[in-house]
């Protein structure tokens, strides 16, 4: 297991790292990039969803290079491939890294200022590829009481697979844009306490982002929940 945790907050270090890499010349092709304009570093232990119920705090792994094929079978083959240990169960810390092939990729805890999480901004600011890539994203929502008959509702650019508490609940395929509630799960139950949402988003080219929220039985956003990435403080 190559996952490790850095005391240096990954998010805050993004621009710095890019600049250092550039300055040392170890990867001269990585340009100095401005910070992602729609992403900020988390500053609170929890973050409630926005007024429309969208989850705005995520742990996102730097992109993994893949073929970018978006058909059902190609997406399934891409997702089924093991890239790093416990990829379907891990809830990483901000700054932990994964060894994927020859690359060391870092998890970043980030808040989005919008309803959607702009993966292009995320990767571009890091000097990472944005086309033909796979993003892994994880978040956890803290629920004050068991909630039955809710649905996870997502949108993504482009194809994506989603898991709730380890169970796959949504798959959308093809070259598509992020449409609110584009993919909706069957009725699910949110357990009291922490529930883990995991996404794998594949982009072929151009912009890439995703959004996610829970809907109640009347299709209204579920709001009495909060994102808490970790159950303990460090």
Partner 1 sequence: MTRFWVATAATLLAMAPALALDGQAAMHDPSTVIEAGGKFYVYATGGGLPAFESDDGWTWHRTAPVMQAVPGGKPGADIIARGGNNTWAPDIIHVGDKFFLYYAAPGTQPKAAIGLLVGRTLDPASPDYKWEDGGPVVWSDGVEDSNAIDPGVMRDPTNGTMWLTYGSYFGYIRLVELDPKTGKRLHPEAKPVNIAINSEASVMIFHDGWYYLLVTHGSCCAGANSTYSIRMGRSRKVIGPFVDNMGIDMLQGGGKLFAGSSGRHVGVGHFGLLDLGDSVQKFSCHYEADLDRGGISVLDIRPLLWRDGWPVAGDNVTAGTYEIESVRTGTALEMTVQGMPVGGPRGRGAGRGAGRGDTTPPPPIPSQDVTQVGNTWPSGPVDARLAPYLLQAQQKWAITPVDNAGGYPGSPYFKITIAGTERALAATPDAELAVAPAFTGAAEQLWRIDQLTDGTYRLMPKGVPNRTDALALSAIGSSMPTLERFAAGSDRQRWLLKTP
Question: Given the rule CB under 8 A, which residues bind partner 1?
Answer: 34, 37, 52, 115-116, 120, 155, 157, 174-180, 182, 206-207, 211
CB atoms within 10 A of CB 37: 11
Q: Which two tokens stand for residue 34?
A: 């401005």
Give the integer Cα–Cα distance in Å for 222 and 151.
9
Q: Decide whether 97 or 178 has the Cβ nearer to partner 1.
A: 178
Are 187 and 149 in contact, with CB atoms under 8 Å apart? yes
Q: Decide whether 50 or 194 has the Cβ nearer to partner 1.
A: 50
Q: Decide whether 5 or 120 has the Cβ nearer to partner 1.
A: 120
The owner of tokens 């929220």 is 213
> Closest approach of Cβ 231 to partner 1, in Å?
31
Q: What is the CA radius of gyration of the chain?
A: 17
> Closest approach of Cβ 11 to partner 1, in Å?
20
Give the integer Cα–Cα distance in Å for 108 and 49.
19
Are 112 and 160 in contact, with CB atoms under 8 Å apart? no
> Closest approach of Cβ 83 to partner 1, in Å?
26
| Cis status, amide bond into 158, omega within 30 of 0 | yes
> Closest approach of Cβ 178 to partner 1, in Å?
6
Q: Decide whether 110 or 143 has the Cβ nearer to partner 1.
A: 110
Q: Decide whether 178 or 195 has the Cβ nearer to partner 1.
A: 178
Give the integer Cα–Cα distance in Å for 28 and 62.
19
> Closest approach of Cβ 55 to partner 1, in Å?
14
Strands 57-61, 39-40: pairing kind: unpaired
Whole-angstrom CA distances from 201 to 89, 120, 224, 232 are 16, 12, 27, 28
Give the integer Cα–Cα distance in Å for 183 and 212.
9
Q: Decide whether 85 or 206 has the Cβ nearer to partner 1.
A: 206
Q: Decide whether 97 or 130 has the Cβ nearer to partner 1.
A: 130
> Closest approach of Cβ 175 to partner 1, in Å?
4
> 3-state DSSP: the chain helix, strand, coil percent, rounded to 5?
15, 35, 50
> Closest approach of Cβ 34 to partner 1, in Å?
8
């Amino acid at each position: 297991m190559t996952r490790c945790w850095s005391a240096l907050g990954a998010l805050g270090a993004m621009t710095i790292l890019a600049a250092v890499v550039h300055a040392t010349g170890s990867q001269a092709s990585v340009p100095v990039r401005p910070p992602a304009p729609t992403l900020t570093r988390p500053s609170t232990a929890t973050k409630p969803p926005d007024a429309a119920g969208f989850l705005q705090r995520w742990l996102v792994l730097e992109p993994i290079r893949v073929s970018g094929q978006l058909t059902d079978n190609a997406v399934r083959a891409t997702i089924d491939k093991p890239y790093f240990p416990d990829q379907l169960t891990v809830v990483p810390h901000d700054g932990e890294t994964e060894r994927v092939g020859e690359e060391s990729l870092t998890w970043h805890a980030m808040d989005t200022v919008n309803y959607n999480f702009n993966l292009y901004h995320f990767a571009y600011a890091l000097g990472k590829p944005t086309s033909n890539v796979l993003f892994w994203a994880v978040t956890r929502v803290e629920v004050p009481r068991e909630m039955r008959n809710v649905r996870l509702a997502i949108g993504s650019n482009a194809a994506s697979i989603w898991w709730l508490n380890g169970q796959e609940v949504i798959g959308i395929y093809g070259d598509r844009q992020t449409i609110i509630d584009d993919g909706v799960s069957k009725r699910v139950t949110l357990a009291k306490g922490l529930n883990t949402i995991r996404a794998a988003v594949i982009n072929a080219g151009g912009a890439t982002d995703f959004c996610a929220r829970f809907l109640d039985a009347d299709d209204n956003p579920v709001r009495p929940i909060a994102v808490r990435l970790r159950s303990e403080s460090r």
